[in-house]
Structure 1
């Protein structure tokens, strides 16, 4: 072998070593980034964890729910966080029942002015429960109102909601008709036109909160809130946002409170990885507007309420469908 060939072989070996070293460095950087992202997500999500005074198990359950094997429920509370006293009221209340085995979800919006019995406080609007006893009393009130166990909860304030919507790049909604709503920031008018619109955080909050201009009142408002939740989930799971999950998780950790553990969330997500949010079954409660002592309340229709309660119970496997029908018959007989 002559000198030229020897030099060429040495040059090839040096080049190969550099390529191997570069590959190792790139793989190491990717591993470090992945590790940092996982740590950031876990740390941020852990910051939002807050257990209930009762512990994990609802008093309406005999044992703690197995989250990947049994249907469970979650109460989603949107909180007015502009109160000068530091304790706002629930501006929106939604109950989700989730079946991880059959991959089905039901979503119920409860009108904020619904007349209910707040445990230990007496009759009042359901959104006053949070001001009187925060998340624990709100959960107890919803459990009594719907007669179902509430296994998990999530609270988010106006500020946090807007930050998260902005972080995921806004959401797309289908505006049902032209209207405007005042901004919660400077009270300026935000205009919405019928058809598809892309909304930032401030606009999405105004869209979800408007009630007075909606001919359907709370029912139209509740449907828009459900639409916003669905749109946010779709956007959150988009490939673009999965690449910046650490930043999104930080915003969630700073603004959301929940008793849903990171490990549970990941386990449930794996069950619903091919889930289409358009298949979420949306429920509502009908009723009438009433006034007692000059104060406005929404009074749920007893027959409709019983049907909704039975649907949620059946989805949670809390009762059989035969019991559901008998309950409705009993209410009809009373009326």
Structure 2
């Protein structure tokens, strides 16, 4: 239970926390839960506009199977955005925030998401600096933002390096590789935090303080802890999935057209976890 609560708290801290109002009583009954995770670029490089969602994931939590699943959706995925027509799925956040993005994802995957969490990219930089850095092993070599990353060479990242590492999308694999690196960052943060002992309690406290500007909560911390506590003891594994597609130019704009087989696979996986 402790490890799951820490994992969820760290993900929320990294991303910033926005959820629709829900009481603890509605979520502590051990039922499955689905959450839309959105990573926005509004906090990066001094931006203050509404921004678009650069990270789009669907998380399911199933106490019955003991699994958490994370499914990445490419930001350029060509979907029907309610009220706006066919467009890139990440435009939904610019048009109508997390709620409209949730509608688009619900329609794409034929589900009804329970909650959403909005990610502020600035939060990643702050938390990595606060915990003293993280380690990653790049699968390919590349350079970005003045930093060089070497294939197979374990590298310690500070906050800015982690942010740059998560943004790179021009290596082989493109946006799919970028989404994998983003998941690697979250796993590295999780591993660092869960390795902390009692002596690190104050450092964990500073994590929350450092991310205060990035956190927006629409449920109380007490309710959230109740929810996490109710399901945490049963979670044993975290599995990751990816929606794949094919790049296509439509009217001079690049889109990622979902592969039917891949869409069916991730949809079935999510449905199985929720049912």
The two structures have a TM-score, normalised by structure 2, of: 0.83
Partner of 1:323: none
In structure 1, C-alpha distance between the alignment counterparts of 2:168 and 2:212, rounded to whole Å: 27
Q: Choose which of 279, 288, 296 in structure 1 pairs with 2:254.
A: 296
1:249 aligns with 2:249: no
1:314 has 2:275 as partner:
no
Q: Looking at both structures, which has the greater relative contact order when contacts are Cα pairs under 8 Å and sequence separation is at least 6? A: 2
Could you tell which deviates more after superposition, 170-179 or 81-90? 81-90
- CA separation in 2, counterparts of 1:275 and 1:242? 23
The alpha-carbon deviation at position 222 of structure 1 amounts to: 1.4
Aligned to 1:236: 193
Deviation per residue, 1:60-107 (Å, 9 max, x gap)? xxxx95345011111111111158661111111111111234331111
Alpha-carbon shift at residue 275 of structure 1 (Å): 5.7
Give the match for residue 262 of structure 1.
221
Q: CA contact under 8 A between 2:18 and 2:118: conserved in structure 1? A: no
Q: Where do residues 318-333 of structure 1 align in structure 2 (5 Å cutoff)?
A: none
How far apart, in 2, do the equivalents of 1:193 and 1:260 lie? Answer: 42
* Residues 71 and 240, structure 2, Cα contact 8 Å, conserved in 1: yes
Q: What are the within-5 Å matches in structure 2 for residues 48-67 of structure 1?
A: 50=18, 52=20, 55-56=21-22, 66-67=27-28
Which residue among 237, 240, 263 is the counterpart of 1:282? 240
CA contact (8 A) 1:114 1:126 kept: yes
Q: 1:77 to 1:257 in 2, by over 3 A?
A: farther
CA drift of 1:310 comes to 1.0
**Equivalent pair of 1:56/1:151 in contact (CA under 8 Å):** no
Structure 2 segments unaligned to the other structure (5+ residues): 1-8
Encode CA deviations 1:273-307: one digit per residue, 9 max, x unaligned. Answer: 6966xx41110112100010110000110121011
> Aligned pair count?
255
Asked which structure has the greater CA Rg, the reply is: 1
Q: TM-score, normalised by structure 1?
A: 0.69
